[in-house]
């Protein structure tokens, strides 16, 4: 006779943070005089990387750090000075006549953050797979990998690390030129293009089209000289002379970068989905990533990252997890669903019985604005499909009363959007909501049709 014994094991929690090491990095460090600011330093570091394709370069707190592969020859001072002169010539229109001299650091002492940022620069030049999980009318939902630098304290020592995570992007299948050339409103590029969110095909960075700055033919040669990426250069060479040249802003620095349309891909947002005749709610549903999908994509991405980093002497460790570093992962002694919460009249309930606690004891403490029991909760409601509101609103008022609050219905409105385009429907809904907000309600209830169940509103 045998007895089966069930052993209860604690779950293992995994992070998306991967510590890394590098032994004897092939590294040089220098600064420029006059000293450069962060934005200019990052631009120059990027250009140095383009001048020497087998190197990676970063700028950090006035210093430039350049990493080469183990055993390879680092550029000498003459080569670096020549590269800087080329960069100065490329950026002359933007920075004017500038002259910098080098100040070399003889024995550079890299920090964990420097190591982590150099590793990320290596990975930014590495292409991870971007599987398409959904496609409709030229719009795709893709899985993409995001990577950034970290430092983390393990066993009392600060160590370099990178974060590898997965997200979804909703993109137009072709490039911006394909979209523009096939659109019936292309004769008005200002109206069609400005405000669209786009992605740089080469770098993956996202920005917004902020201006039409002329025609390609007027700026082609100058832009080809400045372009650093192969895709950007080729798109400038191939574009027709009369194609609009678009200005794109990335981030919050306000600087505008000029692109031929073929170097950009459109990102689809809730505001722009109607221009592509796709249902944004459906795209949003497809963008959700299951746990199993995320795990497999992370495993695949780590394999690619391992190979790319190894070429520069890095070694990527296992992700930080609760088995190896239990002190980094907080776990409550009592499971969250069993944690007791205190309501009014000293009533306690488990955290998964909040409504029972409110019904029997009321709220633990009223907000100052509702401390006076005679203060009524003001309710407004907007319905976008056929529904009798009165029974539901009465139930809401009844439930609020059980929680100790009296209420009143101050405004209701019905709006039909069945025959309207997505853009027109959104405009009408926003207008209706503005009307509902006068006088100001405490609660606004909006009743949507089931077709909008997955929409991001």
Give me the pLDDT at residue 116, please.
Answer: 97
Confidence of residue 413 (pLDDT cuts 50, 70, 90): confident
Give me the pLDDT at residue 69, please.
Answer: 95
Tokens of 250: 């990335």
Give me the pLDDT at residue 422, please.
Answer: 67
> 11-53 pLDDT, tens per residue?
788 899 999 999 889 999 999 999 988 888 998 999 999 899 8
Give me the pLDDT at residue 212, please.
Answer: 92
Give me the pLDDT at residue 454, please.
Answer: 53
Give me the pLDDT at residue 453, please.
Answer: 54
Give me the pLDDT at residue 423, please.
Answer: 67
Confidence of residue 450 (pLDDT cuts 50, 70, 90): low
Give me the pLDDT at residue 316, please.
Answer: 95
Confidence of residue 272 (pLDDT cuts 50, 70, 90): confident
> 164-213 pLDDT, tens per residue?
999 999 988 888 998 888 888 888 888 888 888 998 888 778 889 999 98
Domains of the chain, first to last: 17-124 (3.30.70), 132-292 (no CATH), 332-362 (no CATH), 366-452 (no CATH)
Above 60 in pLDDT, residue 452? no
Give me the pLDDT at residue 7, please.
Answer: 44
Percentage of residues in the chain with pLDDT exceeding 90?
A: 41
Above 60 in pLDDT, residue 3? no
Burial 92-113 (b: 16+ CB within 10 A, else e): eeeeeeeebeeeeeeeeebebb
Q: Among 56-65, 121-130, 167-176, 299-308, where is mean pLDDT lowest?
A: 121-130
Q: What is the mean pLDDT of the chain?
A: 87
- Predicted structure pTM score: 0.72
Q: Among 127-141, 146-160, 418-432, where is mean pLDDT lowest?
A: 418-432
Give me the pLDDT at residue 256, please.
Answer: 86
> 67-102 pLDDT, tens per residue?
999 999 999 999 999 999 988 888 777 777 778 889
The mean pLDDT of 334-345, rounded to a whole number, is: 87
> 347-390 pLDDT, tens per residue?
999 988 998 999 889 899 999 888 898 899 999 988 877 667 78
Tokens of 327: 């002190």
Above 80 in pLDDT, residue 275? no
Looking at per-residue pLDDT, the higher value among 311 and 230 belongs to: 311
Confidence of residue 455 (pLDDT cuts 50, 70, 90): low
**181 and 238 Cβ atoms separated by less than 8 Å:** no
């Amino acid at each position: 006779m045998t007895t089966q014994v069930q052993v209860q094991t604690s779950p293992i929690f995994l992070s998306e943070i991967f510590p890394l090491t590098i032994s004897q990095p092939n590294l040089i460090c220098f600064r420029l005089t006059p000293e450069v600011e962060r934005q200019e330093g990052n631009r120059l570091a990027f250009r140095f990387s383009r001048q020497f394709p087998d190197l990676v370069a970063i700028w950090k707190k006035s210093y430039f750090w350049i990493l080469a592969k183990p055993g390879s020859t680092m550029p000498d001072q003459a080569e670096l000075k020549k590269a800087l002169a080329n960069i100065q010539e490329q950026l002359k229109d933007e920075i004017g006549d500038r002259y910098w001299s080098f100040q070399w650091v003889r024995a550079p002492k890299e920090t964990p953050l420097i190591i982590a940022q150099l590793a990320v620069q290596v990975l930014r030049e590495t292409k991870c797979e971007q599987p398409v999980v959904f496609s409709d009318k030229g719009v795709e939902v893709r899985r993409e990998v995001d990577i950034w630098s970290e430092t983390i304290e393990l066993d009392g020592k600060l160590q370099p690390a990178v974060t590898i995570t997965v997200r979804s992007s909703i993109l137009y299948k072709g490039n911006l030129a394909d979209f523009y050339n096939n659109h019936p409103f292309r004769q008005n590029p200002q109206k069609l293009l400005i405000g669209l969110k786009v992605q740089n095909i080469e770098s993956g960075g996202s920005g917004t089209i902020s201006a039409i700055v002329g025609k390609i033919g007027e700026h082609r040669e100058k832009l080809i000289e400045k372009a650093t990426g192969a895709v950007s250069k080729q798109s400038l060479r191939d574009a027709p002379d009369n194609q609009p040249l678009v200005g794109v802003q990335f981030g919050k620095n306000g600087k505008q970068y000029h692109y031929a349309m073929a170097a950009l891909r459109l990102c689809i947002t809730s505001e722009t989905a109607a221009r592509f005749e796709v249902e944004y709610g459906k795209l949003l549903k497809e963008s959700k990533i299951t746990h199993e999908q995320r795990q497999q994509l992370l495993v695949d991405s780590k394999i690619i990252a391992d190979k790319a980093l190894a070429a520069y002497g890095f070694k990527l460790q296992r992700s930080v997890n609760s088995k190896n570093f239990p002190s980094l992962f907080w776990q409550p002694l009592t499971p969250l669903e069993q944690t007791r919460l205190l309501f009014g009249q000293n009533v306690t309930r488990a955290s998964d019985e909040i409504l029972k606690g409110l019904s029997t004891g009321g709220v633990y403490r009223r907000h100052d604005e509702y401390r006076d029991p005679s203060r009524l909760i003001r309710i407004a409601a907007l319905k976008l499909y056929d529904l009798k509101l009165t029974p539901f609103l009465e139930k809401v008022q009844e439930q609020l009363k059980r929680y100790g609050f009296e209420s009143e219905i101050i405004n209701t409105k019905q709006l039909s959007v069945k025959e309207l385009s997505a853009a027109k429907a959104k405009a009408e809904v926003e207008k209706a909501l503005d009307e509902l907000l006068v006088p100001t309600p405490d609660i606004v209830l909006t009743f949507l049709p089931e077709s909008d169940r997955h929409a991001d509103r």
